[in-house]
Amino acid sequence: MPRALFLDEPGGEAQLRDPPDDPLAEGEVRVAVSHSGVNYKDALAVTGEGKIIRGDFPFVPGIDLAGEVVESDANAFREGDRVIGTGWGLGETRPGGYAEHQRVPASTLVEMPEALTPRRAMVAGTAGLTAVLAVMALEEHDFYDSEALADTGEIAVTGASGAAGSFAVALLAEAGAEVVASTGSEGAHDYLRELGAVRIIGREALAGAPERPMQSARWAGAVDAVGGDTLATLISEMERHAPVASFGNAGGYELETTVFPFILRGVSLLGIDSNECPDARRRAAWERLRGLLTDDVADYLTDRVVGLGDIGAASEDVLAGRPRGRVLVKVGK
């Protein structure tokens, strides 16, 4: 019998048990889940530290899944198709990926690119997908000539040793950008250099609210995985017409800034939403990740692999910022 990780109440202890064998609704598929991951949002949900789950309890968390369709009531997929699920309420309003079998609306899945495996897809997961969407947003901004990030100046990545930040560093470096990685982990410096960072700065260099609405211009672009005062400082230090792609709130969800960087320097703040990303863009992002995620790169970006029963402890570590890169979950047998 397939197993799943259940939360019976917000902040309650997660329990492994057999899920009900519910029939598929029209348009659904049943996925034999091979792998998932522990994102920051998952960690908030599992520990109860954040109000992430908006579905009915008992609830199966996990905002990512990758695996194979074993039953289908949808035209889009048939038995044997390999699929990836992220976003569209997975693990928030609908039962998520911490289950060996999961019912999922077919409309929320994408076909796994042929060269990917479920393991490599979930080394990326929501973290990698969000990072590549952020890099794509920078590349499409008219600050950069010929859609090139090379030779434009330094591009900052905050929260760089976390999962999404690590992917942002690797993707920007692959695109030829001069990446400056910001991290609070001194032990991650060699790791970030190996991913392609040309310079590393401590978290404190961008921490705290900016002293002035506009400070000395330093950055030709930025990917922010932190939010709060760190994002406010980045905005105040952007070059004229440079963009900041923002998707994180680990450093706080409030943003204290002024209109001056936007109306006097033309700075652009680009919000990145991977949850309800349009299907065509989502597919393009996964194709981009397919090119990056060789076995060697996937191994390097993986901090550890845990089972369903270890997700609680892994979630505590993720909230404390301990993992370097991605915490992968091996779900299926």
* CA angle 189–208–268, rounded 5-degree value: 85
The 8-class DSSP code of residue 223 comes to E
Considering only CA atoms, which of 71, 86, 73 is closest in space to residue 35? 86
**Structural domains in the chain plus CATH codes:** 4-116+293-330 (3.90.180.10), 129-271 (3.40.50.720)
- Dist. CA 233–CA 214, nearest whole Å: 9
What is residue 189's predicted lDDT score, i.e. its pLDDT?
96
Query: What per-residue confidence (pLDDT) applies to 38?
Result: 95
**In terms of Cα–Cα distance, which of 37, 26, 32 is closest to 107?**
26
| Nearest one of 298, 306, 301 to 329, comparing CA atoms | 306
Which one, of 78, 163, 81, 174, lies nearest residue 129 by Cα?
163
Positive or negative, the CA dihedral 125, 127, 133, 135 is negative
For 14, 129, 178, 196, the CA distances from 85, given in Å and listed in that order, are 22, 11, 32, 29
- Please name which of 119, 108, 56, 54 lies closest in space to residue 86, comparing C-alpha atoms: 108
- pLDDT value of position 147: 54
Contact at 8 Å (CB) between 302 and 326? yes
- Other C-beta atoms lying within 10 Å of the C-beta of residue 97: 31
Give the pLDDT of the chain (333 residues) as one tens digit per residue.
679 999 998 888 889 999 888 899 999 999 999 999 999 999 999 999 988 999 999 999 999 999 999 999 999 999 999 999 999 999 999 999 999 999 999 999 999 998 899 999 999 999 999 999 999 999 998 777 655 677 789 999 999 999 899 999 999 999 999 999 999 888 899 999 999 999 999 999 998 888 888 899 999 999 999 999 999 999 999 999 999 999 988 888 899 999 999 999 999 999 999 999 999 999 999 999 998 888 899 999 999 999 999 999 999 999 988 888 899 999 987
